[in-house]
Amino acid sequence: MSWAGWVFDFYDLILFTFLLIPISQEYGFSDLQMSYVLGSTLAATAIGGVIFGMLSDRFGRKAVLQWTILTYSIGTFFSGLAGNFWFLMVFRVITGLGVGGEWATGQTFVGETFPAKVRGRYCAYMQTGAPLGIALASVVGGLLSPVIGWRVCFFISIVPALMVVYIRKSLPESDLWLQRKAMQKQEAGSGERIQPVSQNKFIALFSRPYRKYFLLALVLAIFDMSAYWLTYSWMPGYLHNERSFTLTKSALWILVTQTGGFLGYFFFGYMADRLGRRPAYTIYSCIMAVGLLMITVFWDHVVMYPLIILSFMFLVGFGTGMFGGYGSLFSELFPTSIRSTAMGSAFNLARGIQFFTPVAISLIATRYGLGGGISLAVVFALLTGIWVWTFPETKGRKLYADGFG
Residues 344-397: pLDDT tens digits?
Answer: 999 989 988 877 776 777 677 677 666 777 788 899 999 999 999 999 999 989
Please give the distance of CA 207 from its chain centroid, rounded to a whole number: 26
Out of 10-19, 87-96, 203-212, 274-283, pick the least confident.
Answer: 10-19
Q: Where is pLDDT greater, at 3 or 306?
A: 3
Which CATH number does the domain housing residue 342 bear? 1.20.1250.20
Quote the mean pLDDT of the chain: 86
Instruction: Tell whether 191 is covered by a domain.
Output: no
Instruction: Tell whether 190 is covered by a domain.
Output: no
- What's the mean pLDDT in 134-142? 83
Confidence of residue 198 (pLDDT cuts 50, 70, 90): very low
| SS3 labels along 64-129 | HHHHHHHHHHHHHHHHCCCCCHHHHHHHHHHHHHHHHHHHHHHHHHHHHHCCHHHHHHHHHHHHCH
The CA R_g of the chain, rounded to the nearest whole Å, is 20
Instruction: Please state, for a pLDDT cut of 90, what percent of the chain lies above it.
Output: 43
Report DSSP letters for 309-376, one per residue. HHHHHHHHHHHGGGGGGHHHHHHTTS-TTTHHHHHHHHHHHHHHGGGHHHHHHHHHHHHHHHHHHHTT
The per-residue pLDDT for 233 is 72
Burial of 241 (0-12, 13-18, 19+ CB in 10 A): middle
Helix 61-79, helix 2-18: angle, nearest 10:
20
Question: Which helix (DSSP H) or strand (DSSP E) does residue 178 occupy?
Answer: helix 175-190
Task: Tell how strand 399-400 and strand 403-404 pair up.
Answer: antiparallel
pLDDT of residue 191 exceeding 80: no
pLDDT of residue 83 exceeding 70: yes
Residue 154: name the closest of 74, 258, 85 by CA.
Answer: 74
pLDDT of residue 10 exceeding 60: yes
Confidence of residue 197 (pLDDT cuts 50, 70, 90): very low
Residues contacting residue 99 through CB under 8 Å, at least 6 positions apart: 9, 10, 12, 13, 41, 44, 45, 48, 68, 72
pLDDT of residue 131 exceeding 90: no
pLDDT of residue 278 exceeding 90: yes
Instruction: Tell whether 94 is covered by a domain.
Output: yes
- What's the mean pLDDT in 170-197? 75
Q: Where is pLDDT greater, at 61 or 244?
A: 61
Cα dist from 238 to 116, 220, 235, 246, 371, whole Å: 41, 27, 5, 11, 7
The per-residue pLDDT for 196 is 47
- What's the mean pLDDT in 252-273? 90
Number of domains in the chain: 1
The helix/strand/coil state of 276 is: coil
CA angle 136, 139, 141 (to 5 degrees): 95
pLDDT of residue 201 exceeding 80: yes
Contact present, 59 and 105 (Cβ < 8 Å):
no
The per-residue pLDDT for 16 is 87
The per-residue pLDDT for 391 is 96
pLDDT of residue 194 exceeding 60: no
Instruction: Tell whether 118 is covered by a domain.
Output: yes
- What's the mean pLDDT in 58-67? 92
Q: In which domain, by residue range, is 40 found?
A: 2-175+201-404
Distance between CA 20 and CA 34 in Å, rounded? Answer: 7
The helix/strand/coil state of 297 is: coil
- What's the mean pLDDT in 211-231? 92
Query: DSSP label at 19?
Result: S
- What's the mean pLDDT in 315-338? 93
Distance between CA 258 and CA 347 in Å, rounded? Answer: 21
Instruction: Tell whether 314 is covered by a domain.
Output: yes
Q: What pTM, to 2 d.p., does this model score?
A: 0.83
Instruction: Tell whether 193 is covered by a domain.
Output: no
- What's the mean pLDDT in 92-97? 93
Q: Where is pLDDT greater, at 43 or 368?
A: 43
Instruction: Tell whether 346 is covered by a domain.
Output: yes
pLDDT of residue 192 exceeding 60: no
Looking from the CA of 368 toward its CB, the CA atoms found within 13 Å total 12
Residues contacting residue 364 through CB under 8 Å, at least 6 positions apart: 372, 373, 376
Instruction: Tell whether 219 is covered by a domain.
Output: yes
Residue 100: name the closest of 268, 260, 221, 251 by CA.
Answer: 221
The per-residue pLDDT for 94 is 94
The b-or-e profile of 9-18 (16+ CB within 10 A means b, else e) is bbbbbbbbbb
- What's the mean pLDDT in 16-38? 82
Beta-bridge partners for 403? 400
- What's the mean pLDDT in 14-36? 82
Alpha helix stretches (DSSP H) within 233-276? 235-237, 247-275
Residues contacting residue 100 through CB under 8 Å, at least 6 positions apart: 44, 45, 46, 47, 48, 49, 50, 52, 344, 348, 351, 352
Confidence of residue 122 (pLDDT cuts 50, 70, 90): very high
pLDDT of residue 399 exceeding 90: no
Cα dist from 225 to 45, 104, 262, whole Å: 12, 15, 17
